[in-house]
Structure 1
Amino acid sequence: MPTPTELLAANGRTIPDVIGPGLTVLFCGINPGLWSAWSGHHFARPGNRFWPALHRSGFTPRQFRPDEQAELLGLGLGITNVVDRGSARADELSRAELRSGGTALAAKVARHAPRWLAVLGITAYRDAFEKPKAVMGRQEHAIGTTRIWVLPNPSGLNAHYTLPKLAEAFAELRGYASSAGGGPS
């Protein structure tokens, strides 16, 4: 458990992507929170619902811990962020920083070519890709051959989505991602 001083010291730190060739889905957070930046693991803050939603939706055979994130690669899954630097809250990021992150993310996606990019947060997606009218779910916009899906932010701060609703949203993507033609299975 980090101390408040350790968490403050993690501000601005980056953590490595969990990424490789042949991914089915590359999940993309907004940016690392301080707990993640401190630990070096994505979605590490207790109370973040990414790992439970991933499992309950059927993407993983069991609920992984953040320190097991590398095991996702064997399942064809990865994790990255729109903005690399850690912060206490995503709303500390400027639109310019999100747009710059979107450009870098697009280059990363073009390089690794996952089948799907799942952006976790509608506002971050809208700002990063300059798509102000985007809605949750499958997007018309693609990056090369990579299709894009927007999921709710799994942060505990996102009270609009309960864990069952998050898992349902993740499962809808899983249905599309697991079918050969990209449609629901």
Structure 2
Amino acid sequence: MSERPGLDIKLPNGRHIQYRGIRYHGSPQHIFWFEFLPTLLDHTIREELKKTAELAKSTSVSVEQSVAEVVALLNNLVQRAYIRAVDVDRSLMGDGFTKGEARDVAHNVEGYNKYIVEQSNVYVLEYSSNEEKVNYAIVQEDVLDIKPNFCGIGININALWRKIKGKFLP
């Protein structure tokens, strides 16, 4: 007996997604949006940032600049992946002649853009030379934190000073 055709995808984490002889709604649709696509994007983002940071460090190139360039490319990748996923989803939800309703994925793309920045910061700190780490850390935190507040509402004077200095002073 031959096995019926179906879906069989191996994810980067080693797990398999397998479905045969069912319609695209319920679990298959959930797996597509919340298992398949996020697993592939998470894996790709981490791998590309890691490879970039390792290569930059091994060739004495600025890890921070190299990773920043890859961040822009990964943001584009996420945008395009979700555009394609919406098209595939619409085709699978349709009846063969008309497409289903388009899913709004703006919040997914925005979430991944934040995730990419967070992951890039991790790799910059991990793979930068000691000198780069010190410079990066100095930019990120204040030596003296002045925050007067009243009932939990306050003003970060250090941040305000940096904004004023950046806009009006050369």
User: What TM-score, normalized to structure 2?
Assistant: 0.25
Judging by fraction of residues, say which structure has more strand. Answer: 1
Query: Higher RCO, 1 or 2 (CA under 8 Å, sep at least 6)?
Result: 1
Judging by fraction of residues, say which structure has more helix. Answer: 2
